[in-house]
């Protein structure tokens, strides 16, 4: 290969690499700007606080029932009631946050919004099953523990979606 052709190929590769880096940086800047705007939006802040609260109660219920031979009804019913309240508030503030977004931002986030809605629907199903189980005369501790763990799994997936848009990952510990 002639030196000028080799130099041309190297310059082209460098140009393409630089273009890719600029495009990636611009994309990340757009996501970080979007994330920074969302991170300070009051409804988003409240939704995240309720998300953490829901996770705290799910973890407490899971820990109390994992390996237990019975379920403390007063504890379980109070925990599940708080989980439902936190879920409802989280969902309400999440919806308000989404409505506050510009049409352009909503269009960009359509896929993530649909994924989030899917997780919220699955989370609602798990909470409904938990509510039914703890309202029985003798709830099955293994079932309660599993359902609480499933709630944590959905919350973790939602956190990863949110944190992924900011370039970080936060894992909820069980």
pLDDT per position as a tens digit, 102-142: 788 878 888 888 888 888 999 999 999 999 999 999 999 99
How many angstroms from the chain centroid is the CA of residue 45?
A: 13
Kindly state the tokens that stand for 112. 């993530």
| Residues whose CB falls within 8 Å of the CB of residue 73, separated by 6 or more in sequence, listed in order | 134, 139
Kindly state the tokens that stand for 40. 């300070």
169 — pLDDT class (breaks 50, 70, 90)? very low
162 — pLDDT class (breaks 50, 70, 90)? low
What pLDDT score does 68 carry? Answer: 96
Q: Identify the CA nearest to 98 among candidates 164, 162, 149.
A: 162
What tens digit of pLDDT does each residue of 5-48 get? 555 555 544 444 444 444 444 444 444 445 555 667 888 899 99
What pLDDT score does 97 carry? Answer: 83
């Amino acid at each position: 290969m002639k030196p000028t052709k080799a130099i041309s190929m190297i310059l082209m590769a460098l140009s393409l690499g630089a273009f890719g880096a600029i495009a990636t940086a611009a994309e990340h800047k757009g996501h970080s700007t979007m994330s920074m705007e969302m991170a300070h939006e009051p409804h988003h802040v409240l939704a995240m606080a309720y998300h953490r609260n829901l996770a705290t109660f799910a973890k407490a219920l899971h820990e109390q029932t994992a390996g237990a031979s019975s379920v403390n009804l007063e504890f379980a019913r109070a925990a599940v009631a708080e989980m439902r309240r936190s879920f409802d508030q989280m969902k309400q503030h999440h919806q308000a946050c989404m409505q506050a977004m510009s049409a352009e931002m909503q269009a960009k986030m359509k896929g993530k919004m649909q994924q989030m809605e899917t997780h919220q629907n699955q989370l609602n199903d798990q909470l409904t099953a938990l509510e039914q189980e703890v309202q029985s005369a003798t709830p099955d501790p293994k079932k309660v523990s599993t359902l609480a763990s499933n709630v944590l799994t959905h919350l973790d997936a939602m956190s990863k979606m949110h944190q992924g848009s900011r370039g970080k990952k936060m894992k909820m510990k069980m």
